[in-house]
Amino acid sequence: MRVLLIDDHALFRCGLQELLERRGIQVIAAVGDGETGLRRIAETAPDVVLLDMRMPGLDGLQLLRQLRALYPGMPIAMLTTSADERDVIDSLQSGAQGYLLKDMEPDTLIAALDEIVQGRTVVAPELAIVLARAVQGEVTGTTPTDRIADLTPREHEILCHLAEGQSNKAIARRLNISDGTVKLHVKSILRKLEVHSRVEAAVIAVERGLCERGALRDGG
């Protein structure tokens, strides 16, 4: 995977580049402004662009729109500290295939990049509720009730933890089961709900009001 990173914070940029490279991901350029980013993208044709939201001069959204016009099929993901609903909506509507947060666990970030390169849209799990508000009624009705009824009690419990934005590791600790068991349950949940990502599953849970906070506390 060949990644191009655009972020005006030098320490974060250098730290992320080192982290990605240690995991076998090639960072073909790591630049601090949008104009330089435009030039380097034209020169290098990366597999995926990671783009900061807030930058001086050409900001992330402006750059995203320019890139989408120039390269309609290029995978581009926002990588930001902003969990603001408006930023999420604007980014996705402007063509971002990912909206990721800078405090994500490294393994979660790498997995998200893999998904994005494969053509899927990925939103940080913590933003599932924000995404559900953004799409409002669009998801409601897309998944028949009988699919939800197919979930086992344990799968329903894990779905509710997904809706809270918890990682597999966090769910495993909470339920005192292994990471691998959680992963198997998540795969089963996605198959039964006929969705492709844990974010989509979480949105369904939020939209349909499947999870009461009290139930989560009682179960764990």
Instruction: Kindly report whether the global pTM for this prediction surpasses the value 0.75.
Output: no
Q: What is the DSSP string of the chain?
A: -EEEEE-S-HHHHHHHHHHHHHTT-EEEEEESSHHHHHHHHHHH--SEEEE-S--SSS-HHHHHHHHHHH-TT--EEEEES---HHHHHHHHHTT-SEEEETTS-HHHHHHHHHHHHTT--EE-GGGHHHHHHHHGGGSTTSS-HHHHHTS-HHHHHHHHHHHTT--HHHHHHHHT--HHHHHHHHHHHHHHHT-SSHHHHHHHHHHTT---HHHHHHH-
- pLDDT (tens digit, 0 to 9) for every residue of the chain, 220 residues total? 999 999 999 999 999 999 999 999 999 999 999 999 999 999 999 999 999 998 888 888 999 999 999 998 899 999 999 888 888 888 888 889 899 999 888 888 999 999 899 888 888 877 776 666 655 444 444 444 557 888 899 999 999 998 888 888 889 999 999 988 998 999 899 888 888 778 778 878 877 778 765 344 444 4
**Phi and psi torsions of 198, nearest 5°:** -65, -30
Inter-residue contact 202 to 128 (CB < 8 Å): yes
Identify the CATH class of 134-219: mainly alpha
Looking at domain 2-123, which of 3.30.70.580, 3.40.50.2300, 1.20.1250.20, 3.50.50.60 is its CATH number?
A: 3.40.50.2300
* pLDDT given for residue 31 in this prediction: 95
Quote the CA–CA distance of 51 and 73 in Å, as a whole number: 16
Domain ranges for the chain: 2-123, 134-219
Residue-level pLDDT at 94: 87
Find how far residue 130's CA is from the centre of its chain.
Answer: 12
At residue 132, the pLDDT reads: 64
